[in-house]
Structure 1
Amino acid sequence: MSDETATPTSAGRTRQNEIYTEGIHGRGPRVPTDHAELERRARRVMSKRAWAYIAGGAGEGSTMASNRAALDRWAIVPRVLRDVSSRSLETELFGRTLPAPVLFSPVGAGALAARDADMHIGHAAAELGVPYIFSNQGCAPMEQVAAEMDRVRPGAPRWFQLYWSTDDDLVDSLLGRAERMRADAVAVTLDTTMLGWRPQDLNIGSLPFARGEGIDQYTSDRRFREIVAERVKAAVAAERPEISLGAIKTLVSIARNSPGGLLKNLTAPEPRVAVQTFLDIYSRPSLNWDDIAGLRERTSLPIVLKGVLHPDDARQAIDVGVDGIIVSNHGGRQVDGAIGSIDALVAIAPVVDGRIKVLVDSGIHTGADVFKALALGADAACIGRPHMYGLALAGADGARDVVANIIAELDLTLGLSGHTSVTDVTREALQQIS
């Protein structure tokens, strides 16, 4: 099928040939290669709760729309008659050379989309050799996911997302675990010190964490279990809870998602107390720049701040000595009517001016989107909902193929626009349109 030899610099043609070769035998790709169809098919297989949590946004969804509109305001201007026969997608982040400037974003409560979600996503990322940012709200302990990634590719790159708890000892415990499982960086999420107004979840009364979904990093943590034990011991004459069919179903979900046996968990107080403890302490609204300034003394990992949207915050991030930022509006899930992440990147990149690493997420669906992000000053882009849709459709293979398709399209876009390296792409490759 191909007149080219597959090389590390021909990801696009290699991926195309894989799909077309399968087509000869009447087999289509496991996941759609365009985002719109990927989203449609994923919705058909996902539960109502899963779709609400993963696909939903804040308020009326205007920030999600702004993310796409911001990308659409920039058009790629291809150049021709340049030798693009050899291309490189390689990029460097914190001392590690990656095969492509793409990361798997953290998505909490991933088991809503597929059982063992985090294990599957870690497996997929390891196969591709790109980082998976482990969710602090994951459905498997970080150590288990790291072990799976190392089984697929020893030393596979991984980061850890940190939600700053109200318990500083828990913060230190999570950071220590991230260091021991050899994370390349810690991404501190800044924009979720409280949950945004999410009507899709609210309208069905669904909060995954209240059912024990997405709290495995906590229930596997020594310090968190100490807090739970203290609360169980202190609990006396608690108010009698309302008994209903829904409450019983929630109790079963909590028991099933907690460490240990189902029958024991149904009667033991620890699983229920663990859920309430998580809801009470997982994030701290008082988080401020003084906390970030002191983080360097608490971890040896490179520090990346996730959720930066204002140039002044980018300046402050540089001043406090962090190593990078992720320009992000949390996929439009926190503030309705917020600035699109690409619009924010346009203002932030000149301020940073290469002094720290700049990544971007929110609304990035395709390889062409990644190309635009790189041209506008990002060092790499993070993929969120698309890989979750692939996961829902085909497990680890689906998550892998979705991101492989994005990387393939990035490679083809790079060459077809007249460039040979992602590190050389600048704003000159784009034209702003109204």
Structure 2
Amino acid sequence: MKAFGFDWRWRASDELISVEDYRRAARRHVPRMVWAYVEGGADDLRTVAGNRSAFDDWWLVPSVLAGHDTHDLATEVAGLPVSMPVLTAPTGFNGLTRWSGDLDAIRAAERVGTRCVVSTASTWSVEEIADAAGAQHAFQLYPGSGGVAAALMRRAWDAGFRSLFVTVDVPTVGNREGEKRAGMGVPPVLTPRRLLDVSRHPRWAYDVVRHRRIGGRNLASGDGVTAALASIEVQERHLVQSRLNWDDLAWMRDNWKGRLHLKGVLRAEDAVRAVDLGLDGVVVSNHGGRQLDSCIPSVSALPAVAEAVAGRAEVLLDGGIRRGTDVIKALALGADAVLIGRPCLYGMAVAGDRGVEHVLTILRAEIERGLTLLGVRDIRDLDRTHVRPAALGDQNGISMPVITTQ
């Protein structure tokens, strides 16, 4: 319903003005079990917290009287043109957050002018997503055994995907204690208390029962709980493999004719080895803190990786982005673009595709405002001169006292 040009159905946008606002709202839209999956991580959540706090290790250093009134945020990532250096990250089982989640992300990204990296564990099949998309997107793959990964590569290619992101930081599933405590096991553990919590989210429960989009459609056919459990079993049996090595990645490079990125890189030497194999890019990522706890934050690993690759391939950052200034810091530290996962899930939980679109729009506005205040017109002009370590110290990293004069 519109009156005088105002959409009264979207009054929530008046109150939700930041990603953090969406995070708080999203928690109220899904049961605790689902929230544990969306927001949780491994062990003591140190890496989850570190991904955020590590951005505080850097200050922005602005220039004044720069004379810019417009900004150029457009770029290209994995051969895909984007209107800003922010793409949606691959997040599995989005149907738990909202039944239409994978399509919500696609529609929102396209309206904003960016692209998605579609997960192997999406609750819509790669063919369904390709049919619904109006533009080309990228596909994420867990490399595995038994021909499952090879079959997924063929399906993605036949569906029109030409950019592949291979995730390699899941040789085993991280110890996600929060999910276990909330009952998010295989199968899920439903107690009277948890069922009561589900009953407090009738819209979510109705969508789950009606649409049955909770499993990984690329991994198992069918709907509902049985298919969901089957897809999780396929993922853990065939796509989570501790024996995978660089020869497997070389095989994938030989057999994928499009753009190929390696996701889950934190060491500079691993990035260099990937580029030497002919990969087109790397994603600096610790899987959102869901794998190895006490792991180096993504943005802390970024400068060394970017320096080692030195323009030979694209460098993307995944993990901890919540503000436009986070994006700016990542670009200044050597990233070509960033991926966002949880922020999209927040928007998805609150308002589907419109929520995801609004989250992306918020980040875009924050990037533009940040560039204006920083005195930078083009994102390609961002470099290490625009950031400075927050901690004062000597070259050995020893903290020094701040001396002031009276």
Equivalent residue runs for 1:155-304 within 5 Å: 156-167=135-146, 169-207=147-185, 213-220=214-221, 253-255=224-226, 257=227, 276-304=233-261
Counterpart of 2:37? 53
Residue 316 of structure 1: CA displacement? 1.0
**Regions of 4+ moved over 3 Å:** 21-28, 207-214, 272-279
Residue 37 of structure 2 contacts residue 179 of structure 2 at CA under 8 Å; is this kept in 1?
yes
Residue 147 of structure 1: CA displacement? 1.7
Encode CA deviations 1:347-404: one digit per residue, 9 max, x unaligned.
2111111110000011011111101000000000001101100000001100111011
Output the amino acid matched with 1:178.
A
Q: Secondary structure at the match of 2:132?
A: helix
Counterpart of 2:26? 42
Q: Secondary structure at the match of 1:390?
A: helix
Counterpart of 1:343? 300
Gaps of 5+ in 2: 190-212, 392-406
Residue 101 of structure 1 contacts residue 381 of structure 1 at CA under 8 Å; is this kept in 2?
yes
Kindly tell me the number of residue pairs found equivalent between the two proteins.
364
Is 1:390 matched up with 2:347? yes
Encode CA deviations 1:155-191: one digit per residue, 9 max, x unaligned.
x231100011221x22221111211222241110111
Encode CA deviations 1:277-304: one digit per residue, 9 max, x unaligned.
4432232211111111121221112110
Encode CA deviations 1:178-235: one digit per residue, 9 max, x unaligned.
1122224111011112110011111133137879933211125xxxx9xxxxxxxxxx
Q: Which of 369, 380, 383 is the equivalent residue of 2:337?
A: 380
Counterpart of 2:287? 330
Residue 73 of structure 2 contacts residue 379 of structure 2 at CA under 8 Å; is this kept in 1?
yes
* TM-score of the two chains, using structure 2 as the length reference: 0.84
Cα separation, 2, equivalents of 1:165 and 1:25: 45
CA gap of 1:208–1:128, structure 2 versus 1, over 3 A, is: farther
Residue 209 of structure 1 contacts residue 215 of structure 1 at CA under 8 Å; is this kept in 2?
no
Output the amino acid matched with 1:215.
G
Q: Secondary structure at the match of 2:320?
A: coil
CA gap of 1:106–1:424, structure 2 versus 1, over 3 A, is: same
Is 1:102 matched up with 2:86? yes
Residue 38 of structure 1: CA displacement? 1.9
Cα separation, 1, equivalents of 2:238 and 2:15: 38
Residue 100 of structure 2 contacts residue 352 of structure 2 at CA under 8 Å; is this kept in 1?
no
Is 1:142 matched up with 2:126? yes
Cα separation, 2, equivalents of 1:279 and 1:30: 42
Output the amino acid matched with 2:150.
D
Output the amino acid matched with 1:218.
L
Residue 304 of structure 1 contacts residue 322 of structure 1 at CA under 8 Å; is this kept in 2?
yes
Counterpart of 2:64? 80
Counterpart of 1:118? 102
Cα separation, 1, equivalents of 2:301 and 2:40: 21
Output the amino acid matched with 1:196.
G
Is 1:367 matched up with 2:324? yes
Cα separation, 2, equivalents of 1:214 and 1:339: 31
Q: Which of 67, 81, 85 is the equivalent residue of 2:51?
A: 67
Residue 142 of structure 1 contacts residue 217 of structure 1 at CA under 8 Å; is this kept in 2?
yes
Residue 304 of structure 1 contacts residue 326 of structure 1 at CA under 8 Å; is this kept in 2?
yes
Identity %: 35
CA gap of 1:118–1:23, structure 2 versus 1, over 3 A, is: closer
Is 1:319 matched up with 2:276? yes
Residue 31 of structure 1 contacts residue 390 of structure 1 at CA under 8 Å; is this kept in 2?
no
Residue 31 of structure 1 contacts residue 394 of structure 1 at CA under 8 Å; is this kept in 2?
no
Residue 99 of structure 2 contacts residue 214 of structure 2 at CA under 8 Å; is this kept in 1?
no
Q: Secondary structure at the match of 1:305?
A: strand
CA gap of 1:140–1:23, structure 2 versus 1, over 3 A, is: closer
- What RMSD, in angstroms, separates the aligned Cα atoms of the two structures? 2.4
Q: Secondary structure at the match of 1:419?
A: coil
Q: Secondary structure at the match of 2:121?
A: coil
Cα separation, 2, equivalents of 1:311 and 1:79: 31
Equivalent residue runs for 1:350-361 within 5 Å: 350-361=307-318
Q: Secondary structure at the match of 2:140?
A: strand
Cα separation, 2, equivalents of 1:283 and 1:336: 18
Output the amino acid matched with 2:379.
V
Q: Which of 360, 370, 373 is the equivalent residue of 1:403?
A: 360
Counterpart of 1:5? none
Encode CA deviations 1:224-261: one digit per residue, 9 max, x unaligned.
x9xxxxxxxxxxxxxxxxxxxxxxxxxx9424x57xxx
Residue 218 of structure 1 contacts residue 278 of structure 1 at CA under 8 Å; is this kept in 2?
yes
Gaps of 5+ in 1: 1-20, 151-155, 226-251, 259-271
Cα separation, 2, equivalents of 1:181 and 1:203: 39
Encode CA deviations 1:60-88: one digit per residue, 9 max, x unaligned.
11001111221111111121111211210
Output the amino acid matched with 2:174.
G
